[in-house]
A and B are shown apart, each in its own frame.
Chain A
Amino acid sequence: DQQVKQNSPSLSVQEGRISILNCDYTNSMFDYFLWYKKYPAEGPTFLISISSIKDKNEDGRFTVFLNKSAKHLSLHIVPSQPGDSAVYFCAASLRSGAGSYQLTFGKGTKLSVIP
Chain B
Amino acid sequence: GAGVSQSPSNKVTEKGKDVELRCDPISGHTALYWYRQSLGQGLEFLIYFQGNSAPDKSGLPSDRFSAERTGGSVSTLTIQRTQQEDSAVYLCASSLMGIDNQPQHFGDGTRLSIL
Q: Which residues of A contact B (CB under 8 A)?
A: 4, 31-32, 34, 36, 41-46, 49, 51, 89, 91, 93, 96, 98-108
Q: Which residues of B contact A (CB under 8 A)?
A: 4, 6, 31, 33, 35, 41-43, 45, 48, 50, 55-56, 58-59, 91, 93, 95, 100-109
Given known pairs A103-B43, A106-B42, A107-B42, the reply for A98 and B56 (CB within 8 Å) is yes
Chain B residues with CB under 8 Å of A34's CB are 103-104
Chain B residues with CB under 8 Å of A45's CB are 106
**Apart from A46-B104, A49-B103: 8 A-B pairs, beta carbons within 8 A:** A43-B91, A46-B105, A96-B56, A98-B55, A99-B55, A101-B95, A101-B101, A102-B48
Chain A residues with CB under 8 Å of B109's CB are 43
Least CB distance, A99 to chain B, in whole angstroms? 5
Instruction: Using CB atoms, name the residue of chain B closest to A6.
Output: B42
In this complex, the member of B33, B35, B48, B103 whose beta carbon has the largest number of chain A beta carbons within 10 angstroms is B103
| Selected contact of A100 from candidates B4, B41, B56, B107, CB within 8 Å | B56
Given known pairs A41-B108, A42-B108, A51-B101, the reply for A102 and B42 (CB within 8 Å) is no
List 12 interface pairs A-B (beta carbons < 8 Å), by A numbering: A34-B103, A36-B106, A43-B93, A51-B100, A93-B101, A96-B48, A96-B56, A98-B55, A98-B56, A101-B95, A102-B45, A102-B56
Chain A residues with CB under 8 Å of B103's CB are 34, 46, 49
- B104 to A103, Cβ gap below 8 A? yes
Least CB distance, A42 to chain B, in whole angstroms? 5
Chain B residues with CB under 8 Å of A41's CB are 108
Chain B residues with CB under 8 Å of A93's CB are 101
- B106 to A43, Cβ gap below 8 A? yes
- B33 to A44, Cβ gap below 8 A? no
Q: Considering the complex of A and B, which 3 residue pairs feature the smallest CB-CB distances, nearest first?
A: A100-B48, A43-B106, A98-B56
Chain A residues with CB under 8 Å of B42's CB are 4, 89, 105-108
In the assembled complex, the Cα of A4 lies from the Cα of B42 at a distance in Å of: 10
